[in-house]
Each structure stands twice: as C-alpha cells, then as structure tokens.
Amino acid sequence: MSRRRSVPGPQPVLVPVAGRGWFPGMMCGICCEFIRPWQPYNIDHEVPMSRGGRRGKINKQYAHQLCNSVKGDRYPFSLRTPEEREAVRALVQPATYCKLQRVWAGG
C-alpha cells in the first residue's frame, strides 16, 4: 500500500458484492475492476502530469499498482476491453502480464 494522507484523491465508491449487497470499495480507473483490499494500488493521474494534467481531485483516480505501471505516461490509455488487454500483452514482460491477469481476475 502506498497512500499519502496529504493527497485528497477520489472518494471510495460503493461496489456490489455478489448476493451480499453494497460495500465500500474502490474501482480501478484504468481497467474498471474492483481493487480488492489485498491488492496494491496507487492514486493515478488520469492525464499524466508530464502531459499537462492538473493536480486537482478531478484528475485523480484509484488504480491498481500494476495497471498504473503499465499505463506509464501514456494518455489516453485504458484496459477496459479484451482487445486493449491483448494489446498490453505486447507491451509488457510475460511475467508482468501474468500478474496483470491475476489482478484483473481479482486474485
């Protein structure tokens, strides 16, 4: 976990847990899947600072550490469709891709 208290960041959202109602949780802004309590995450700038992104809350989102590291300073960038995920396969080491697949699967 790397989370700095000085960063206001986005608020956690309510996420559904199958058959058990809604619970506070966080969604990854890059792959759009839930960030489980055991998964490392970062506060990502949707528009990277190096590309003129703002410092404010509106530009911040939670993201899996792995998704964030794959995104780097590319913008726009997302992993929201299977096609985009396949494209990522070409960008990263096979070991990293295996880890990403585990993140996306929730384990």
Q: Is residue 28 a contact point for Zn ion (CB under 5 A)? A: yes
Residue with the closest Cβ to Zn ion?
Answer: 28
Q: Is residue 67 a contact point for Zn ion (CB under 5 A)? A: yes
Which of 31, 70, 88, 100 binds Zn ion (CB under 5 A)? It is 31
Tell me how far apart the alpha carbons of residues 15 and 29 are, in angstroms, rounded to a whole number: 14
Q: Report which residue type is found at 8.
A: P
Residue placing its CB nearer to Zn ion in the complex, 1 or 21? 1
Tell me, letter by letter, the H, E, C secondary structure of 39-76: CCEEEEECCCHHHCCCCCHHHEEEEEHHHHHHHCCCCC
Residue placing its CB nearer to Zn ion in the complex, 47 or 77? 77
Instruction: Give bridge partners of residue 66 from the DSSP assignment.
Output: none
Q: Is residue 71 a contact point for Zn ion (CB under 5 A)? A: no
Beta carbons of 99 and 89 less than 8 angstroms apart:
no
Q: Is residue 64 a contact point for Zn ion (CB under 5 A)? A: yes
* Contacting positions for Zn ion (CB under 5 A): 28, 30-31, 64, 67
